[in-house]
Structures are given as structure tokens and as C-alpha cells.
Amino acid sequence: MPDNRNHYAALIKQEAKALGFLSCGIAKADFLYDEAPKLEQWLNQGRHGQMSYMERHFDKRLDPRLLVPGAKSIVSLLLNYHTEEKQTDTNAPKIASYAFGQDYHGVIKNKLTQLMLRMRELIGDIDGRVFVDSAPVMDKAWAKRAGLGWIGKNTNLIAKQVGSFFFIAELIIDLDLEYDLPVADHCGSCTACIDACPTEALIAPYQIDGSKCISYATIELKEAIPQSFKGKMEGWMFGCDICQTVCPWNRFAQPHKETAFQPNKELLALTDSDWTELTEETFKKVFKKSAVKRAKFSGLKRNIRFLNEA
């Protein structure tokens, strides 16, 4: 019986590229031995803040075979969202660029579903599940194992040729495939991200205190933003791009070609006063298909008030 692992892996990568994915890598579905003690320590130290969901499904987070029985391979995929467009009013509260277009969850899930269907057409009966940032899957760890990049000092996945402005998603499947090899770390002696973080969330190279991160405070945190963030937000009201923007590898980032991620012109045009006077009706209209909905109208207003009080 011929060994088709290499052939099937190449087919999957070819189909992923045809669907617009930036890159695709494959790793063996196994226990994440290196990540287990780090995750345990991170949780024990309370670095996850109020993200209590990080404490749940600890075993599944480290072993994908508990999520998908019979899993043999993790197919990791990157989808570019980099844009050179900016918000028009430089004084307006800022939104992380990943949220300029449509909510990525639906866009990527649709592509992953198409990829699974195509794989079944080309290869045969494959069982598995698609994942987009909504299940206990350690995306960056698997992308690193699949050779798609290294985890940088800002704790983001970085790829030498393209930077880090991309989403990560995966297929966990019951098919044996040819596996990719991890790549070397190319951060070197650079500490640009650590030096630039206004809240000192990057407590050491490769270590983040999530509870100090502006993205956490503006999206994940449901209570009042702690006073420790006062005067340190640098205008960010939804997410933060600082540790990516200063990363030298992002000079290689190219604008995406995904129509669903085209920036919402209405959003980019909102002025400082438009944000301050934002009504729920405008919020629902402008952010109808946006990831910004996650913060809810009340959360966004809280963030804007906090910035204005600083």
C-alpha cells in the first residue's frame, strides 16, 4: 500500500492557498509537553486576569486528541489581515486593525469548511473539526510546531517573510500526514516590543501578563478598567497593535487581499467627537458584522469614557 502522507499534505496546502490562506503547516496531534508547565504557571500566577475560560478544559488545551478522538494531524493555517489604511482622525480613539473589516470568525470558518469539503472530495472520508479562536486549542503552539513561525518576545507568532498581522486557525483531523518542522527563533537581541508596551504587560521576553494588556482591558474585562491603566492606553479603545507595529519583522507585511476584511469606510471616518457621542443605533449599524461587537455598546462607551478621563 503506497504511503500517501506527503502527497496528501501537498494537496491540502495547495487547496488552502487557493482559498486565500497565507500559509499552511502540519503537525502531529500529540500532547504539548513543553507548553504544559508554562500554561500551569501562567494560570497559577493569575496572568489571565478574569479570563476564567482559560482555566477550563486544561487537559483538552494540551492534548487535541481529547477534543477530536482519533486525531492524528493538526493542520494550521494563517490568514493575512494586514492593511495600510488608517482611521482618518488621528485624535479619534483607536481600534486594532484586525477589526477594521468583517468579523474574522465567520470568514475563516467558512474557508475552513470549504477546505474540509475539498479534502474529502480529493482524499476520501476524513473525520475532524475546524477551529477558529473559540475552543481550547493553543493556536500559536500548533502553528509553531507546524513550522509557520516562531513565538516572539511579544508572545505573538511571527513569520520571517510576512510578520505577524494574521489570524491563526486549524483543522484537527484523523488523517496521517507528512509533518513540517519548526523554524528557528529570529527575535535575536531585539526588545522593541517590550520597550514599547505602555502598560508593561510584556513582563519579560516571551512572557505576557494578560491582565496588564490593553487588549484585555478593552475587550475581555467586563468590569471597570483599573486605575493602573490611567494615562497608559495611548488612545486604544478596542484592542492594541503596538507590540506588532514596532516589530521589525512587520516591515515585510503585505496588505491582505481578502474582500471581507476590507476596512469599513464608515468606521475609519468616525471622528473623535463621533466616538464620544456614539449612540447604540450607530453602534449597531456600523459594527453589524464587526468583531467590535464583542465589546458590546456598553463596553465601548466605558472604554471611551476611560480614555476621555485620562
The residues annotated with a catalytic role in the active site are 133
Helix (H, G, I), strand (E, B) or coil at 16: helix
Handedness of CA 258, 295, 136, 138 (dihedral sign): positive
Supply the DSSP string of 87-152, one letter for each residue. -S-TTSPEE-GGGSSS-HHHHHHHHHHHHHHHHHHHH----EEEESSSSS--HHHHHHHTTS-EE-
How many CB atoms within 10 Å of residue 207?
16
Show the CA angle centred on residue 56, arms to residues 55 and 58, nearest 5°. Answer: 80
Handedness of CA 110, 29, 147, 58 (dihedral sign): positive
- DSSP letter assigned to residue 305: H
C-alpha 24/C-alpha 22 separation (Å) is: 7
The residue written with cell numbers 472604554 in the block is 303
144: buried, middle or exposed (CB in 10 Å: 19+, 13-18, 0-12)? buried
Element (H, E) at 208: strand 207-208
